[in-house]
Chains A and B, each alone.
Chain A
Amino acid sequence: MNTAGATGLEERTSTPTIRLDALTKFYGPNRGIEDLTLEVRGGEVLGLLGPNGAGKTTALRLLIGLLRPTSGRAEVMGFDTTRDSVEVRRRVGYLPGDPALYGNRNGNELLKLVMRARGIDRAPLAERLIEALDAPMERDIRKCSRGMREKVALVLALSHDPDVIVLDEPTSGLDPLGQRAMLSYLRERAEAGRTVLLSSHILSEVEQICGRVAILREGRLTRLDTVEALREEKFREVTIDFDGEAPSFEGIGEYEVVWQEAKRMVVRVRGDARALLVALAAAQITDVSITEPTLEEVFLDYYRDGDSE
């Protein structure tokens, strides 16, 4: 990598592309989101996680200018999403949840409409996306299944190579091949410096492509961190086969023996992995396996913790 390129990337990624500042939306007395503050930088993929009604879709719709904030503000590439919503949408590729398209049109006709509305002669990534997703662009939308419609909608949203990609549950209707193609595309665009903000219920995909996740609960941001950091502070499940005495885990942090037999035990340990390895080295271990928690486990754990509060 040359120096100029590295500097350019550094500059690009150091300026937040998306900035939410105390963003709040109430629907009458009902809370959509409250006091949501976060930043997403160029080249980053950030996942919004949360159960139904947590405020993920509200946050994304505020960002696109489909909703007016009750208070606070949101910016995309320096443009206010309420005042300059057209400029925002010029720079954004947006996929709504369960996308609806005109039923009496086919994908190619809609792509022409998108290009006219965007004032462009060609959509540079259209062919690639159509091929990767196997999007049925010739078929009338009314004759498309939900997954096919979603593929066409993704082509329409992303084919102009937007600087910012905002996706509400982007792969929920896609088949596994479509999901894989979509995730691979998003990863590649992020590597090219684009900013990706997506909401999802499919935690495995968030885990695959997101650098950071924002966890929403009842409209509030309860956690914003990297996937690794979230995993770090959760339990690892350690299965240990040993000879002689069972290893001791005193002093390694929080732990819980899940079950134990004569020469095998399963322990859930939270804390520094090095302390765990030191404890294991002092014992007569014949085999050991450490299972990292999936993001799904972390997520469920997080919400269980919240419910019990």
Chain B
Amino acid sequence: MRALAGDLLGRSWFALAWWMVGLLAMGAYVVAIYGSLSGTDELADLWELYPESIRELVGDVNIGTIDGWLHLEFMSWIPLVLGMYGGIFAAGNISRETETSTVDFVLGLPVSRIEFMGSRLVVGILNMGVICGGAFVLLTVQVPLMGYDASPDRYALALANAFLLGTALFCGYALIASFIDEQARVIGIAIGGTLVTYIATAALRAASAPDAVRWLSPFEHYRAAEAMSGRAIDVWSLVVLAVAAVVAGAAALYWYNRRDLAA
């Protein structure tokens, strides 16, 4: 599996670099502009003008503080980026391999399907970690440079939560990609699914839907607002995301190992 994972890392770094450039540029911009807004009372008023559903989705933060601001403008949408990245990665490295028949070349070698799918899961999760790690380094370095106190423990906790959510979404899309062999369809499902689930989470919170219903949305278990406000995070949310990732990943391995790979 090491050979396959190494090869995939080599092929995926370029795209990953561009995802990180976009994400980190946005993060740097968000940190940089805080200085021009931090003194204004209107910031808190502006937050009150946000629709209830959006405030529910983002969570209870004071956006007048640097950490609250970073949460609103950066941390709150990182899972969207991770979800889309995971979907595109799964489509490009699982569905596309079957669609274009490059999987015939790989599985003509003495590697098992478990190793093939496992290498995709490992590299996808590793790349999620690189994205989150990059965001952590950016905030930890840039916030003090801009003259504010950095909160590495809060960033680490929020980004760990984002990483688990991104991993759970990615493993779910890997499962879908294990039985849909069309890259374009899986990308459509992943992007559409991520956005719809994100919006549905806001709607369910605003509508005070029962906990059992809200609990089904992966974004319900993203608790970065608590982390960035210095409050305790619900450990069960992290456990649920970790378990979801393991179950989806195991299902993807199981299904891919059993299916036919027709010409």
Contacts and interface: CB of A to CB of B under 8 A. Distances in A.
Interface in B1-17: 2-4, 6-7, 11
Nearest to A66: B261
A86 B111 contact: yes
Interface string A85-110: 11101101011111111101100001
Contacts of A57: 263
A300 interface: no
A116 B111 CA distance: 11
Interface string B79-113: 00000000000000000000011101111111110
Nearest to B259: A68
Interface string A68-92: 1000000000000000011101101
B101 A102 contact: no
B105 A89 contact: no
A117 B149 CA distance: 49
Interface in A131-154: 153
21 contacts: A27-B260, A57-B263, A61-B263, A64-B107, A67-B262, A86-B112, A89-B107, A89-B109, A92-B108, A94-B108, A96-B101, A96-B108, A100-B104, A101-B102, A102-B102, A104-B11, A114-B109, A117-B109, A118-B109, A153-B105, A157-B108
Interface residues of B, number: 23
A117 B2 CA distance: 8
A156 interface: yes
A114 B107 CA distance: 11
Interface of A: 27, 57-58, 61, 64-68, 85-87, 89-90, 92, 94-102, 104-105, 110, 113-114, 116-119, 153, 156-157
Given A100-B102, A117-B106, A153-B105, 19 more contacts: A58-B263, A61-B261, A61-B263, A67-B260, A67-B262, A86-B112, A87-B110, A96-B104, A96-B108, A99-B104, A100-B100, A100-B101, A102-B105, A105-B11, A113-B7, A116-B6, A117-B4, A117-B110, A119-B110
Contacts of A119: 110
A273 B239 CA distance: 82
B260 A66 contact: yes
A280 B11 CA distance: 71
A66 B104 contact: yes
Interface string B149-164: 0000000000000000
Given A68-B260, A100-B100, A90 B105 contact: no
Nearest to A100: B101
A198 B151 CA distance: 65
A105 B223 CA distance: 42
Nearest to B99: A100
A64 B102 contact: no
B258 A68 contact: yes
A195 B106 CA distance: 22
B102 A90 contact: no
Contact of B110 (A68, A90, A110, A153): A90
B95 to A, nearest CB: 14
A86 B108 CA distance: 9
A293 to B, nearest CB: 32
Nearest to A166: B108
Nearest to A85: B112
A85 B113 CA distance: 10
Nearest to B109: A117
A100 B3 CA distance: 19
Contacts of B258: 68
- Across the A-B interface, give the 3 residue pairs with the lowest CB-CB distance, nearest first: A116-B3, A90-B110, A100-B101
B108 A64 contact: yes
B110 A118 contact: yes
A94 B109 CA distance: 8
Nearest to B114: A86
Contacts of B106: 117
A218 to B, nearest CB: 17
Contacts of B111: 86, 89, 117
A86 B110 contact: yes
A226 B258 CA distance: 37
Nearest to A115: B3
Contacts of B105: 96, 99-102, 110, 153, 156
B261 A89 contact: no
A94 B112 CA distance: 15
A61 B259 CA distance: 13
B110 A66 contact: no
A5 to B, nearest CB: 30
A6 B100 CA distance: 46
Given A27-B262, A66-B260, A116-B3, A102 B11 contact: yes
Given A85-B112, A113-B7, A66 B102 contact: no
A283 to B, nearest CB: 55
A119 B101 CA distance: 23
Contacts of B261: 61, 66-67
Contacts of B100: 100
Contacts of B263: 57-58, 61, 96-97
A89 B112 CA distance: 9
Contacts of B11: 102, 104-105
B51 to A, nearest CB: 44
A157 B6 CA distance: 20
